[in-house]
């Protein structure tokens, strides 16, 4: 039986995994209608991802679900890479909280995914349909329609049409959406297989992560929230999947880790193979892919779940911009431009880490362990690993950006090249454009002390150090920022807060730099004016006199159409 009258919404999300659920939350928060179609009857209820980073938690903060998610996390999740004798080769314990949260967390993915799902109940314009498998998609110049199969109460198959302006496939590595688009999925699937064992009532009780680079059998041991423990063991070529999941075999694997494996409360025992692949493009026409549908990576850096969050964060505000009429859908081309290179960098890093762990040649193992011992004697090298500086942070060089030196639109060099004295005397020549802005705490009389994003809201922000934006920008530029819906923000030292509140324009949000961390950021960089995107990446950075040209360049990269957003999104009262 087929229903010929399509159900309509602005965006169709295929797949109720973490990326799809996050994207639906972001779009719902911006007031847009979303339909989520999930082939399964329920959310997946067994553990998968185990690492949640500070960027993802900042995104969760932006949709108002931090308090719901935090109980399912272990902050400051330390990782130790140990050799076959149990000696630490590398300790990864980053102390930074530049984005407002601890750099690394252990987490229980099913519980966090469920909180993302529960969060959708806040939005009348977001609907989730379980048990709906998308069979085909029809696309026209103006819309996209998914034909989905479900089963009615009598067990009969029903086909339903769902129409929208855009479809986003978030169905995982075997994504039918990606296959329909016909884009490449380049990379490799290493032949090494791993046995994953999850148990309740953690028999060890030690927190954090141990990566065992043991040439006899590499392993992973991870302490997780809610008293869950995960082990992963590399399988030898002659060990079958049936053998590996046999209880006796699993008990043998755990004999060196647990006093009595036979008493464990198992959640699952499963064999899997790592994949390292990235799609050639994340968009074709009105169909887009995100999360594992766009990139698959080995587990070693715990970045699969987090990369999906980055995709949703990048894509969500862009779809909202297009749907509100502020930009054409050429903006969607920047999704691939901005996200693909970083996703590939994380895939490559994860592969490299896996190769370090999986070494079994005795001579190579000795060389690795010796080199690690020597390098650990140098503080700068130890800090490099401890602070996780080897992890490539997202830096966009093409997309919705303006170069701070040349004012070129759509591109941003990683270095500042201006010959003006403020640039040549700066403490750093690294450009802040294309990277995520920091999130320290700030203070206002009305809000008290809060994280920066809580104060400025979730749309565009024009942030200026020590000056009122209204006083340093011409009326024509201020009018464009108003059309964009940008919040005008002045940041001052605590000592100047009373003066700024009294003398600055009433539409300017004045923030006190109560910790001094914002002053330190601006001390080091000759860019006291920032245009910050909804995903908290810096789109433009400049001296105050260069503000109009820089803002125009960013708007050109955005393909800004000048249409005002809905009051529900622009209003400062609802933007926080």
CATH number at residue 295: 3.50.50.60
Q: In 403-548, at which residue ranges do the beta strands (DSSP E only) sit?
A: 409-411, 441-444, 448-451, 461-465, 487-493, 509-513, 529-532, 538-542
Last residue of a domain, one of 254, 273, 292: 273
Q: Over pLDDT 90: what percentage of the chain?
A: 69
pLDDT band at 374 (very low <50, low <70, confident <90, very high): very low
Cβ burial 370-390 (10 Å sphere, 16+ → b, else e): eebeeeeeeeeeeeebbebee
Q: Is the C-alpha dihedral spanning 321, 314, 484, 32 positive or negative?
A: positive
- 154 and 207: one domain? no
How far are the Cα atoms of 39, 132, 165, 281 from residue 113, in angstroms, in the given order? 16, 19, 26, 26
CA distance 38 to 390: 36
Contact 519, 513 (CB under 8 A): yes
pLDDT band at 225 (very low <50, low <70, confident <90, very high): very high
Residue 492 has which token pair? 């001052």
Query: What pLDDT score was predicted for residue 166?
Result: 98
Reported as a single tens digit per residue, the pLDDT across 72-94 is 999 998 888 887 777 777 777 87
CA distance 69 to 571: 27
- 535 and 566: one domain? yes
Residue 473 has which token pair? 């920008």
- 519 and 414: one domain? yes
Residue 385 lies in a domain: no
The whole-chain average pLDDT of the chain stands at 88
Q: Which CATH number characterizes residue 489's domain?
A: 3.40.30.10
Residue 370 lies in a domain: no
Compare 217 and 458 and report the one with higher pLDDT: 458
Query: What pLDDT score was predicted for residue 573?
Result: 33
Q: Which residues contact 46 (CB under 8 A, 6 or more apart)?
A: 110, 198, 267, 268
Residue 372 lies in a domain: no
CA distance 315 to 331: 10
Which residues make beta-bridge pairs with 223? 229
Q: Which residues contact 229 (CB under 8 A, 6 or more apart)?
A: 198, 199, 202, 203, 204, 221, 222, 223
Query: What is the arithmetic mean of pLDDT over 127-135?
Result: 97
Q: Which of 330, 229, 348, 335 is nearest to 288 (CA)?
A: 335
Q: Which of 175, 171, 182 is nearest to 139 (CA)?
A: 182
Query: What pLDDT score was predicted for residue 304?
Result: 78
CB atoms near residue 190 (< 10 Å): 14
CA distance 50 to 321: 33
Contact 63, 23 (CB under 8 A): no
The DSSP 8-state label assigned to residue 334 in this structure reads: H
Contact 164, 8 (CB under 8 A): yes
Residue 497 lies in a domain: yes
**What's the gap between Cα 509 and its chain centre?**
28
- 223 and 267: one domain? yes
Residue 352 lies in a domain: no
Q: What is the CA radius of gyration of the chain?
A: 25
Reported as a single tens digit per residue, the pLDDT across 486-534 is 999 999 999 999 999 999 999 999 999 999 999 999 999 999 999 999 9
Contact 458, 573 (CB under 8 A): no
Q: Which CATH number characterizes residue 256's domain?
A: 3.30.9.10
pLDDT band at 135 (very low <50, low <70, confident <90, very high): very high
- 246 and 290: one domain? no
- 212 and 263: one domain? yes
Residue 527 has which token pair? 């860019």
Residue 161 lies in a domain: yes
Residue 360 lies in a domain: no
Host domain of residue 215: 193-273
How far are the Cα atoms of 63, 77, 209, 323, 514 from residue 206, in angstroms, in the given order? 32, 11, 9, 48, 37
- 437 and 488: one domain? yes
Query: What is the arithmetic mean of pLDDT over 23-52?
Result: 94
Reported as a single tens digit per residue, the pLDDT across 385-444 is 444 454 557 899 999 999 999 999 999 999 999 889 998 988 899 999 999 999 999 999
**In the chain, how many domains are there?**
3
- 256 and 299: one domain? no
How far are the Cα atoms of 17, 77, 232 from residue 228, in angstroms, in the given order? 21, 14, 14
- 110 and 34: one domain? yes
- 12 and 31: one domain? yes
Residue 81 has which token pair? 């890479």
Cβ burial 25-52 (10 Å sphere, 16+ → b, else e): bbbbbbbbbbbbbbbeeebbeebbbbbb
Compare 191 and 574 and report the one with higher pLDDT: 191
Query: What pLDDT score was predicted for residue 212?
Result: 85
Burial category of 124 from C-beta neighbours within 10 Å (exposed 0-12, middle 13-18, buried 19 and up): exposed
Q: In 130-282, at which residue ranges do the beta strands (DSSP E only) sit?
A: 133-139, 144-151, 157-164, 166-169, 185-188, 193-200, 209-213, 219-224, 228-234, 265-273, 276-279
Residue 98 lies in a domain: no
Last residue of a domain, one of 255, 273, 291: 273
How far are the Cα atoms of 80, 233, 357, 368, 379 from residue 371, in angstroms, in the given order? 16, 25, 14, 5, 15
Last residue of a domain, one of 333, 354, 371: 333
- 293 and 416: one domain? no
How far are the Cα atoms of 45, 52, 105 from residue 109, in angstroms, in the given order? 9, 9, 11
Q: Which of 269, 271, 273, 282 is nearest to 308 (CA)?
A: 282
Q: Which of 533, 535, 557 is nearest to 485 (CA)?
A: 533
- 110 and 209: one domain? no
**Whether the predicted pLDDT of 372 surpasses 60:** no
CA distance 183 to 169: 13
């Amino acid at each position: 039986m087929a229903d010929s009258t399509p159900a309509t919404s602005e965006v169709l999300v295929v797949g109720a995994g973490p990326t799809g659920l996050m994207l639906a939350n972001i779009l719902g928060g911006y007031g847009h209608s979303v339909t989520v179609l999930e082939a399964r009857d329920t959310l997946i209820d067994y553990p998968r991802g185990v690492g949640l980073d500070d960027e993802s938690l900042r995104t969760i903060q932006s949709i108002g679900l931090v308090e719901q998610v935090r109980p399912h996390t272990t902050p400051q999740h330390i990782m130790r890479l140990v050799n076959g004798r149990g000696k630490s080769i590398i300790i990864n314990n980053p102390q930074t909280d530049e984005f407002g949260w601890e750099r690394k967390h252990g987490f229980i993915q099913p519980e966090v995914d469920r909180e993302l799902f529960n969060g959708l109940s806040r939005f009348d314009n977001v609907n989730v349909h379980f048990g709906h498998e998308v069979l085909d998609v029809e696309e026209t110049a103006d819309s996209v329609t998914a034909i989905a199969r479900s089963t009615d109460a009598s067990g009969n198959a029903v086909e339903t049409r769902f129409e929208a302006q855009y479809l986003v496939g978030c169905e995982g590595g075997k994504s039918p959406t990606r296959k329909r688009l016909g884009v490449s999925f380049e990379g490799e699937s290493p032949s090494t297989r791993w046995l994953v064992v999850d148990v309740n009532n953690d028999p060890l009780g030690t927190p954090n992560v141990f990566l065992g680079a043991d040439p006899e059998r590499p392993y992973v041991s991870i302490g997780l929230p809610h008293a869950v423990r995960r082990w992963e063991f590399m399988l030898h070529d002659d060990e079958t999947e049936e053998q590996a999941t046999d209880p006796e075999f699993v008990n043998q694997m755990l004999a060196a880790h647990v006093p009595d494996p036979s008493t464990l409360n198992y959640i699952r025992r499963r064999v899997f193979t790592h994949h390292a692949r990235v799609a050639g493009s994340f968009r074709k026409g009105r169909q887009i892919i995100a999360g594992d549908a766009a990139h698959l990576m080995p587990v070693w850096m715990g970045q699969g779940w987090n990369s999906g969050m980055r995709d949703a964060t990048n894509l969500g505000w862009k779809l909202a911009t297009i749907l509100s009429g502020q930009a054409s859908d050429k903006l969607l081309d920047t999704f691939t431009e901005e996200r693909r290179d970083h996703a590939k960098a994380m895939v490559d890093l994860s592969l490299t880490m896996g190769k370090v762990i999986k070494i079994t040649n005795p001579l190579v193992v000795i060389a690795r362990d010796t080199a690690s011992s020597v390098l650990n004697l140098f503080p700068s090298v130890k800090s490099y690993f401890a602070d996780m500086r080897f992890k490539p942070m997202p830096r966009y060089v093409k997309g919705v950006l303006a170069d701070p030196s040349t004012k070129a639109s759509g591109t941003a060099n990683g270095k500042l090249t201006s010959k003006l004295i403020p640039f040549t005397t700066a403490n750093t020549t690294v450009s802040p454009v294309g990277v995520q802005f920091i999130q320290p705490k700030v203070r206002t009389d009305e809000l008290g002390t809060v994280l920066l994003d809580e104060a400025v809201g979730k749309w565009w922000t024009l942030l200026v150090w020590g000056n009122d934006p209204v006083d340093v920008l011409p009326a024509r530029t201020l009018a464009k920022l108003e059309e964009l819906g940008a919040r005008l923000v002045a940041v001052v030292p605590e000592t100047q807060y009373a003066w700024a509140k009294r003398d600055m324009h009433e539409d300017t949000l004045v923030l006190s730099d109560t910790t001094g961390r914002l002053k330190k950021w601006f001390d080091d960089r000759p860019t006291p004016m920032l245009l910050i995107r909804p995903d908290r990446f810096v789109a433009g950075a400049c001296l105050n006199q260069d503000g109009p040209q820089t803002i125009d360049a960013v708007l050109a990269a955005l393909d800004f159409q000048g249409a005002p957003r809905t009051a529900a999104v622009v209003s400062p009262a609802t933007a926080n």
